[in-house]
Amino acid sequence: GDHYGLASYLKSLGKVLALDHHTTVLPAHRLFNRGRFHIRNLQRAQDIVRHHERRLERMMEVIGDGATTMAAVTMGAFPPRKLSGGGFFGAVSEVVSHLELLVDMGDIQVSQDGKLRRNGTDNFHSAVHAMTG
């Protein structure tokens, strides 16, 4: 459980954010793209953390509005243009990683029949901040 999922990724971003601000960070994706190098500063790690926190917030809203299945959460959390073609399957994969974190934090429950339900808490906010410093 410590070596996979969104929590593991956020913890690794927390380690990057703990580095000295004069440190150069090489991105995990597209270091060399379109004929040039893309070297990033630590701000990029903070941007990624904010992206995932906003995604968690959006999923909590969608579940709170009545979405009870992964498919419904996916359709509510992503714009339709991102879901066309094979995009739906990639989006579901991202939804699963976020839902796992929300379950682990006690913010949602998954019933025996697979239905999602909010628990009335938003523990994920403090958890994300604890993981990323």
Kind and range of the H or E run holding 56? helix 43-64
Residue 20 structure tokens = 């000295």
| Residue-wise pLDDT tens digits, 69-104 | 999 999 999 999 999 988 999 999 999 999 999 999
- Amino acid found at 60: M
Residue 81 structure tokens = 């243009």
| pLDDT band for position 116 (cuts 50, 70, 90) | very high
In the chain the first and final C-alpha atoms are separated, in Å, by 21
DSSP E strand boundaries for the chain: 32-33, 36-37, 108-110, 116-118
Q: Is the pLDDT of residue 28 over 80?
A: no
Locus of tokens 């399957």: 89
* pTM, entire model: 0.87
